[in-house]
Structure 1
Amino acid sequence: MALKLYYSPGACSFAVHVLLEEIGQPFTQECVSIPQGMTSSAGFLRINPKGRVPVLVVGAEVLTELPAILLYLALRHPEGNWLPTAHPMALARCAEWFNWLSGTVHTMAVGQVWQAGRFIGEPCLEAQVEAKGRINLTQAFERIEGHLSREPYAVGRQYSAVDPYLHGLSISSLDSACATTGGPARSETCART
């Protein structure tokens, strides 16, 4: 089945690329640059009306939202043990990470830093939203660093579909947006992935 990944450099779509490479699944890719406004183009909005990357086209199906795409790939390739399906608590921890990374860290904190205007209708207040985003992002990275200083991966001792998401957040330009840089535990985890 043919797979096509729509991505933007430096965006969370990197995590899908990482997992596809880990799996060894052939795919094609198309750059849809966020800074150049390509996610708002009529052509891309026909593919994903949400105007966001990543998008994974699987045959005739269009799959959006990073956790859903990572989940799909992990379930399609159970041989890699990308999701601990035999261990309910570990699987729940994957869902917990996906929800927190997607809903709080990525959508809220990263959004506040890079797209403050989405959160407030007053341009004169965007700097305050961005400043709060930097605080939120710093706190999130500190929480991730604390966890990874105790465990080698997001879900204990086993690499999972969550780790490419952490990797993508850690190596992207997001660290330059907050007061803290990648800590040693995150750096070690990224080196292993």
Structure 2
Amino acid sequence: MLKLHTAPGTIGLACEIALAEAGAAYEVHRLRFAQNEQRQAAYLAINPKSRVPALETDRGVITEAPAIMGYIARTHPAARLTPEGDAFAMAEAESLMSYLCSWVHPAAAHRHRGARWADDPAAIAELRRKAPEVFGAAMRLIDERLFRGPWALGEAYSVCDPYLYVLTSWLPRDTLDMADFPRLADHHVRMGERPATRAVLAAVEAG
């Protein structure tokens, strides 16, 4: 049995959707950030990075969303969540996932977690001002150039899609109008219609 440690409002949602899409047997532990559970000894014993998501497996713990979703895809090949067997297509998937996790996701985080990068209140305020511009530019590039359609990589759904879905859901939170990203907005609607996504969102809502 896999155990996913996640928290509401985080990219852990993408991993949970990937687990549901794969038909995996798993359970979920939702940490309460308001109570700083991610910094308490019980969770630090699982993930000393003090972050989510983390996936407990029978061989140990995997951290970082791209690694977790890659593991899910490789251990559930029947779900066909990555283009295995095609080296170039796999590299394209890894390229998009790397861009999402190394640039797009942190760009969004700078608005809400400026204290990670600065102590000066003026600097934190500037990060908060600038972050939506950087996040929006990255998402616009995806919308206009990198998104294949109808899914992130083209005709086949992949683990890139739940990651992109969660990031798109953050656009309004970061003062950006989803209507300015029409292809991603359409993708977001179609993602929300998938049974796995609906099931996971219902579970999150139920707590």
- Structure 1 residues 149 and 3: CA distance shift in structure 2, 3 A: closer
Superposed displacement of residue 187, structure 1: 2.5
Question: Which stretch shows the higher mean deviation, 80-89 or 177-186?
Answer: 177-186
Deviations 1:97-156 (A, max 9, x none): 11111110112x122111001111212320101112111111122122224765222212
Tell me the residue number matched to 2:91: 92
| Deviation of the 1:38 alpha carbon | 1.9
Specify every segment of 5 or more residues in structure 2 that has no aligned partner in the other structure, as ranges.
192-207
When residues 124 and 35 of structure 1 are mapped into structure 2, their CA distance, relative to the original with a 3 A threshold, is farther
What residue identity is the alignment partner of 1:114?
H
- Aligned residue pair count: 190
Question: Aligned ranges for residues 1-150 of structure 1 at < 5 Å?
Answer: 2-107=1-106, 109-147=107-145
1:34 Cα deviation (Å)?
2.9
Within the candidate set 167, 181, 187, 2:178 is matched to 181
| 1:160 alignment partner AA | S
d(CA) in 2 for partners of 1:84, 1:151: 15
1:160 lines up with 2:158 in the alignment: yes
TM-score, structure 1 as length reference: 0.90
Contact 2:82 2:158 in 1 (8 A): yes
Q: CA 1:148/1:62 → structure 2, altered by over 3 Å: closer, same or farther?
A: same
The letter of the residue matching 1:8 is A
Q: Give the CA RMSD over aligned residues.
A: 1.7
Same amino acid, percent of matched pairs: 31
Query: What stretches of structure 1 move > 3 A for 4+ residues in a row?
Result: 147-150
Deviates more, 1:12-21 or 1:151-160: 151-160
One-letter identity of the residue aligned with 1:15: A
With the length of structure 2 as denominator, give the TM-score of the two structures: 0.85
Q: Residue 45 of structure 2 aligns to a residue in which SS?
A: helix
Are the equivalent residues in 1 in contact too, given 2:4–2:27 (CA < 8 A)?
yes
Deviation at 1:52, TM superposition (A): 0.6
Q: Secondary structure, in 3 states, of the residue corresponding to 1:47?
A: coil
Secondary structure of the residue that 1:69 maps to in structure 2? helix
Is residue 7–residue 32 contact of structure 2 (8 Å, CA) maintained in 1? yes
